[in-house]
A = this chain, B = another copy of it.
Amino acid sequence: MSDHPLKQIGEFGLIGRIQSWFNEETSDLLGIGDDCTVIPRGDDECDLVTTDLLIEGTHFLFDKITPEDLGHKSLAVNLSDIAAMGGQPKHVWLAIGLTDRADLPWLERFFNGMNKLARKHHVRLMGGDTTRSQKHLVINIMVSGTAAASQVKFRSSARPGDVLFVTGTLGNSGGGLQLLLGNHHNTEDPAERNLIRAHNRPDPAVNAGLWLGIQPGVHALIDLSDGISSDAGHVANRSGVTIALELTDLPIGADLRKVALKHGWDPVQLACSAGEDYVLFGSCDPDAWESLRVSYRKEIGAELHRVGDVRDRPETDAGGDPSESKPGLLSGGQVSYLKNGTPIDFNKHGFDHFKS
């Protein structure tokens, strides 16, 4: 689709167009263009709603993922969106378009994978739609959840001076995808198996999101689905700030380092742009950072990794990516990259379904 106009405007440009076609005031509609829609409900409560459409051939290859893993992943990517708002997921709707290859035994295994993850996070299947698809398997999942209105975390809340952090290592999923696409992975190698598992069975940061949601020092929050380059761009544009990422601080695990060395990949490129890690990326008040880091380790039993800081947008920068500059929806911002504190030219974008 090289001459397809959607390629020029990209996914977020398209969302801006859809907004303009609906000609709606967006200022009173929270969460448009964020991970979830936010619907206020009297008191301090709000509903969160997210939906993700997964289509065979675009989002997964039928022969490269087990039905259990696909069931798990389809739900996981939606739970991750609720986590990214600091919310508690509650209800799930599944609409599925089945091909001939997705027969009853396949479907039972798919539901087993989904059900295990649903039980782990106490979410419940409430309904949906089942139908046939001629060519490609289609899975649409919608998850609703709740959060205290005062604690919902938006992409637009990053402030100059904030410390930037991620809740886990980056690039594992991208490394796993490379192995699957290359058809030359060694299933005897635990490092390769781990990367493929990271790609096929991402672990949504539900508990981390809930905990970060109630920390007043945490400002912006987003989940890394498209790669930190792209997702940090969304935070930068929505918040009207510069996101400065220190490339040497990006957490890259031992498995990815080892496999990347073997195959001649650049792990930093994978960490920045491969996407689908489904860890959380956030910003926090610099004065709160130390205690946040310590409490997180104690409460969640894992590490927050500092990956950069938020800066003022340069005066001369009128707006960043013009496709994200719809009034009321998106404002200008930029992502800059540092190596050991020195700005470098590193222009790697994350994944966009229409641009890629």
Across-interface contacts of A111 in B (CB, < 8 A): 18, 21-22
Cβ–Cβ contact B39 & A138, under 8 A:
no
Residues of A34-71 at the interface with B, using a CB-CB cut-off of 8 Å, are 36-37, 39, 49-53, 55, 57-59
Q: Are A131 and B353 CB-contacts (below 8 A) given A21-B111, A49-B93? A: yes
Cβ–Cβ contact B127 & A32, under 8 A:
yes
- Chain B residue nearest to A8 in the complex (CB): B104
Cβ–Cβ contact A21 & B104, under 8 A:
no
Nearest CB of B to A9, in Å: 8
Answer whether residue A15 sits at the interface, using C-beta atoms and an 8 A cutoff. yes
Answer whether residue A91 sits at the interface, using C-beta atoms and an 8 A cutoff. yes
CA distance A5 to B1 in the complex (A): 37
Answer whether residue A97 sits at the interface, using C-beta atoms and an 8 A cutoff. yes
Mark each residue of chain A from 112 to 152: 1 if its CB lies under 8 Å from any CB of chain B, else 0.
10010000000011111111111110101010000000000
Nearest CB of B to A52, in Å: 5
CA distance A18 to B98 in the complex (A): 14
Q: Which residues of A contact B (CB under 8 A)?
A: 1, 4-6, 9, 11, 14-15, 17-18, 21-22, 24, 29, 31-32, 36-37, 39, 49-53, 55, 57-59, 91, 93, 95-98, 100, 103-104, 107-108, 111-112, 115, 124-136, 138, 140, 142, 353-354
- 20 additional contacts, CB 8 Å, given A21-B111, A58-B97, A138-B138? A6-B98, A9-B104, A21-B115, A22-B125, A24-B124, A29-B126, A31-B127, A32-B126, A32-B127, A37-B93, A37-B126, A39-B91, A49-B126, A51-B93, A51-B127, A53-B96, A53-B129, A55-B138, A57-B135, A58-B132
